[in-house]
Structure 1
């Protein structure tokens, strides 16, 4: 038995010794075959596709980049340049697709060898970003930071974003100390880092010396993305008398306004483009901005720009030719300043917030001049505010009575042949007597022409009572049709009072309507009477100008405008062909007859040329050619913003609307002096007289 077991052991041992080498040999063979296949595949790829792969390594992407062009100019009606561009040399930087912060750090460091820049308002964060961008600096700081700055409570590594934020925090905590040269580098680094991919930013465009340009130009090969270019800024050769109308342009840092970023990006703008932000610059942005230039840029595998080719040099922005004569505009502003200074000297501007005037061509709607003064009642400081003509509202007083009379004529409560009314004061319970400025009993009755001549409040209130079918008994509650407010305002709206005029300047506001019912829900009949003679609702001055122009031109409510035409710019910067000319735009035709219109025109003529102590606009009587006008005086109040709960002092707002020459009007104007402490001085009348004198002299009318 033992012998049998020994034989079996010998056989098993010999089999194990022979089996193990075989398996190793098989494994070695398999590895050899796989290695041979890999070598064969590599050889195949090298021989067959080697050229293709090398081309892929050397491949460049082609990207089309856009560039800004000079903004269009703005000229006055005589071709004088109002707004132009001042061009200056500039050092620019175009950011590559995936450039690293360390690369920008290196470029900024090199650039400060050849140019000096003003240090921007650098924050501690900006300085820390610059320090951490230095080669290997971020890694060094990360090692020095406490462990809690690198891992969370569970010991897991923080995100790279969080770690970097902690690096910034650590650097700031350790203290940031930069010398003057480092501050310059940090300023450049900030500007360059803030640039969007493949966008161009200006690193220096002011006080750039020829030496700096030459030195940077000589070293462009070691400054990837740096170029020599030019930049522009808006300048105003004729001064800024209407700067508020023209509006502003954003800076490169401001770029596209946040509220328009989506629409403007969709239209092809870049985030840092300089665009019109207000008024004419904004309204005509698509014209003034021109068409961007286009460059085809080749970007290598290292994300650096290798080649740039101009595809389209761009089209300079179009020019705007305004309806405003800058010489006449200056005269109107100077005349307004003179009259307001006189009011100040008289001591009646304690609560005044300014004065405004606007002049239109009633035949076309063209704005001939817009002038304004804003006054700070607390300091007495004044500033130019022509824009107040379209965005400030005032209760204008009797100047609106022309619309009241024409509304009553169209309503049929009076006729051109039958329009006399008794002139008795109106007594309502719980309310002061409602009367005209002259003493009760001065006139027993008045017709429409006389009512305009003497500015009768009583006459206008009687018209409203007739239109509202009023049931009136002195000292008793009066009832009127509940639609009286909408009826009166409906007629006013036809002339432009209480509705936007449509002027081609952004930011126009509309008049303010007073409430129609009291807290008990009762119709405010007394306020309806106040509305009839202009002592309730508030209007902008441009609405007043549109209203008087509608009367002057025979009933056509025309859209006011300040841009007469748009003109191309030639390559040499001079004006090219006209692309559009503004034509008069009729918003609506007021439905009065010529006989009805003549009643109001004669009444406004009588207000200037009539006799009698209470004739309101006789200071314009000596003008030749003759003019027509309607003055206004309204009770107003000054609300102190620093003490809104105090009883507001009562003030006086004086106004005037006028047109001339009377027989064939080609100029119409509206003027307002709000919140004076006295109506003495007739400042709107005196200002109107001077404006007419200047206009007639300018146009050669006799």
Structure 2
């Protein structure tokens, strides 16, 4: 039997070593191969990317703010400009620590004085910890020992410190110089790398500016330059509607942060916050200057180069005529204050005589809003709102024409008549009987103001002239497929009819957006009508839904121009910014026809003639007057329009909203207007407010048609006192 061969121990060890070397070599080979692949990937695939990052580490482009475009009225009068002012800037270099920033703030504190009233306690506490460690140790000696021994955490130590160092204690330690330094530091510490921030732009003195310029070499990151702020040559006129711009300290407003960040803005950019400044931010913002900084390896700036000059924003020209705006503001103030004074005088007379309780509450009479526009193209020529504050002082309320809505009463009846035509309820010239409407279950009959107890046959034209409530309510019944007869029940199935009526009102702009190029437009209230037949009938006479002065103006303009509902707009054109002259027109805004109301010529004529009669006609045969005859019949050339009165409640008391809307001249109108006086006394004939409409037309004729000036209407308490009737209109 053969004996098996056995390997010596030395041979076995050699084989093991050889295997290990082979494995190591294989691993080395694989690692080298991986390295080759990785280097190839970095050079070929990612090479451009990393090269760009290397270059960006040395050359960084940033944007600097430029002045916004200016805003002008339609005639080139400057409404919003830019006032330049000296400013001190700080640019944070790369890797700059908070300690280094504090050192610069300490140095800069010797050159400028800052406002310190709004410094937070936390800012002062942090400064105390940083700059007065000995004081902190003295105040927190026991806690410091506990912290060093590990008995309390750093967080616990900090909480105790912030609670103990209150405002009173810190004021005993920090000097005025310290507070000034803190104010500077607060502005600097939030700066992003290589993005200049304003440290001070309000009240930089010539001395401060000069001294800093002389010391720029020693003040790291500090530069001087010019900043700007919005300037308003016409003061508070239209101030709210023109809008606001964020400050250099504020940057992107918190409530608009996501909106602007999505558009590529930086957090410290100054932007439009409200109304026109916000709406036309893309026009007004301009193109920012691009600066390329060269930094060394430590991140410090060693040179800078302007890559692209900044350009101010383009200029926005509005449809507003500032001269007309100012004149109508004066008229609105005159009428509002005069009506308030008359109400106060009548209240005093009542108090002395004790004849009748007229419940005239003067302080309720505190608001007027009105709009003047071109009815043909949607240009808003003037938008005015005035209020009397608690002290009886006039304050601007221009945005109320856009944001406040009211029940407007009979002014809407032209739209009700048109809805009757379109749904084959009435024909042009059709006669209906105006009579008290007695419904089953109703204790009080519904009647028109001019006819409380008789039966009067009226066609559509005269129904508008005398403002027949009954004529309109019979149209509403017809939309529900019903014909009135005495003692009938109110309709129950009115949803379809209500939709028809509301759609008819909407087609004129009532209850829908006017298309105005401003944010926050109110569309009004349109409550559910499915179980409210009485409210449905009231809707037909403007006593239910609510509308704005802008909507009321668009409505009457649609009648004036023959049926085109033209979108309202404040912007007329955009021009290239040019400090020396009007720039080239870059964009024009023309009124867009939002819809066309379907009239036959005969139907349109009936409504327009009815509106003419409201202002101009006294029917001697019946001794009936148009509801606006008193104020408007002497105008030349003639105007047309509609008046309205809506019952409302204010603080639990009965009040009336008085509305007036119209257009002029009657032939080929080039202006339309709407006026709303809310919360007027609930009395007859407390309607002298309609004279504001007359004065507005006269002022327009004076400015646009070169007519002789006409003095504003002067109120005479004696004329109205003897005619007052309580709780009736």
TM-score by length of 1: 0.85
Q: Is 2:688 the counterpart of 1:692? A: no
Change in 2 beyond 3 A, CA 1:665/1:170: same
Separation (CA, whole Å) in 1 of partners of 2:70 and 2:581: 10
Give, in whole Å, the separation in 2 of the partners of 1:261 and 1:316.
23
Residue in structure 2 matching 1:657, options 658, 661, 666: 661
Cα contact 1:70–1:85 (8 A) shared by 2: yes
Cα deviation for residue 431 of structure 1 reads 4.7
Native 8 Å contact 1:255 1:271 kept in 2: yes
Q: Is the 8 A contact 1:95 1:198 kept in 2?
A: yes
**Residue 301 of structure 1: CA displacement?**
2.8
Quote the offset at 1:559 in angstroms: 0.4
Contact 1:625 1:701 in 2 (8 A): no
> Relative to 1, partners in 2 of residues 1:451 and 1:156: Cα closer, same or farther, differing over 3 Å?
same
Relative to structure 1, is the Cα distance of residues 59 and 356 closer, same or farther in structure 2, using a 3 angstrom cutoff? closer
Equivalent in the alignment of 2:399? 387
Which sits farther off after the overlay, 190-199 or 489-498?
A: 190-199
Deviation string 1:19-53 (CA, Å, 9 cap, x unpaired) is xxxxxxxxxxxxxxxxxxxxxxxxxxxxxxxxxxx
SS of corresponding position for 1:133: helix
Distance 1:221 1:131, change over 3 A: farther
Unaligned 5+ residue runs, structure 1? 1-55, 518-522, 640-647
Partner of 2:78: 81
Q: Point out the more displaced range, 396-405 or 584-593.
A: 584-593
CA contact (8 A) 1:89 1:205 kept: yes
**Counterpart of 1:205?**
201
SS at match of 1:208: coil
Which residue of structure 2 lines up, in the alignment, with residue 368 of structure 1?
381
For residues 454 and 94 of structure 1, what CA distance do their matches in structure 2 show? 72
1:395-444 residue CA offsets vs partner (Å, 9 max, x unmatched): 00000000011110111111114x10011111122353211112424552
What's the CA shift for 1:694?
A: 1.0
Provide the TM-score with structure 2 as the length reference: 0.82
**Partner in structure 2 of residue 103 of structure 1:** 100
Q: Given the alignment, which residue of 264, 269, 288 partners 1:268?
A: 264
Distance in 1, matches of 2:297 and 2:163, equals 35
Counterpart of 1:587?
Answer: 594
Residue number in structure 2 paired with 1:229: 225
Output the CA distance in 1 between the equivalents of 2:514 and 2:99. Answer: 57
Q: Report the alpha carbon displacement of residue 660 of structure 1 after superposing the two structures with TM.
A: 1.1
Q: Which one has a bigger Cα radius of gyration?
A: 1
Residue from 623, 626, 633 that aligns with 1:615:
626
> Structure 2, unaligned stretches of length 5 or more?
1-52, 344-359, 708-729
Aligned length: 628
| Within-5 A mapping of 1:547-558 | 547-558=555-566
Q: Distance in 2 between matches of 1:301 and 1:164?
A: 36
2:370 corresponding residue in structure 1:
357
Determine the C-alpha separation between the residues in 2 that align with 1:413 and 1:613.
26
Cα RMSD between the aligned structures? 2.6
Query: How far, CA to CA, are the matches of 1:94 and 1:598 in structure 2?
Result: 70
1:359-438 → structure 2 map (5 Å cutoff): 359-376=372-389, 379-417=391-429, 419-428=430-439, 429-438=441-450
> What is the rounded CA distance, in whole Å, between the counterparts of 2:305 and 2:139 in structure 1?
43
User: Pick from 541, 566, 571: which aligns with 1:533?
Assistant: 541
1:682 aligns with 2:695: no
Equivalent position of 1:493 in the other structure: 506
Residue 179 (structure 2) aligns with: 183
Q: 2:674 aligns with which of 670, 675, 683?
A: 670
Matches within 5 A, 1:465-544: 465-470=477-482, 472-479=484-491, 481-482=493-494, 483-517=496-530, 523-544=531-552
For the residue of structure 2 that corresponds to 1:698, the secondary structure is helix
1:316 is matched with which residue: 312, 319, 341? Answer: 312
Structure 2 match to 1:192: 188
- Would the aligned equivalents of 2:664 and 2:672 in 1 still touch at CA under 8 Å? yes
Question: What is the CA-CA distance between 1:141 and the residue it aligns to?
Answer: 8.4
**Cα deviation per residue 1:2-31 (whole Å; 9 max; x = unaligned)?**
xxxxxxxxxxxxxxxxxxxxxxxxxxxxxx
Partner of 2:128: 131
**Structure 1 residues 332 and 143, CA gap change in structure 2 (3 angstroms):** closer
Question: Is contact 1:426–1:435 with CA below 8 Å preserved after alignment?
Answer: yes
Q: Secondary structure at the match of 1:539?
A: coil
Contact 2:435–2:451, Cα closer than 8 Å, also in 1: no
